[in-house]
Amino acid sequence: MISDILVLFSAPQSELDMSRAISRLMEIDTSVLAHRKEGSERLLLVKFSPQTVSPNAILQALRGVGFTVSIAGG
């Protein structure tokens, strides 16, 4: 089973910041895949296995590279 988290940044992010976020997220576990739509400076899609990675681990990784993040559920 694969879960998704869509990260929406409140302001556009630089290429460097997005690259750091993606790199850090993919270090969490081999099940994590993070990517952004080409040209998007505010959206990041994170796919992961909930058996090995918790949503909190994803938030912690983003906080670790300097982002302020929280979860909004639907």
Domains with residue ranges and CATH for the chain = 3-64 (3.30.70.100)
pLDDT score for 74: 55
Instruction: Express each pLDDT in 7-66 by its tens digit.
Output: 999 899 999 999 999 999 999 999 999 999 888 899 999 999 999 999 999 999 999 999
Supply the pTM of this predicted model: 0.86
The predicted structure's pLDDT at residue 70: 85
Average pLDDT, the chain: 92
Provide CB contacts within 8 A for 38, sequence distance 6+. Answer: none
Q: Which two tokens stand for residue 12?
A: 């556009």
Cα(41)–Cα(12) distance, rounded to whole angstroms? Answer: 5
35: which DSSP letter? E
Helix (H, G, I), strand (E, B) or coil at 15: helix
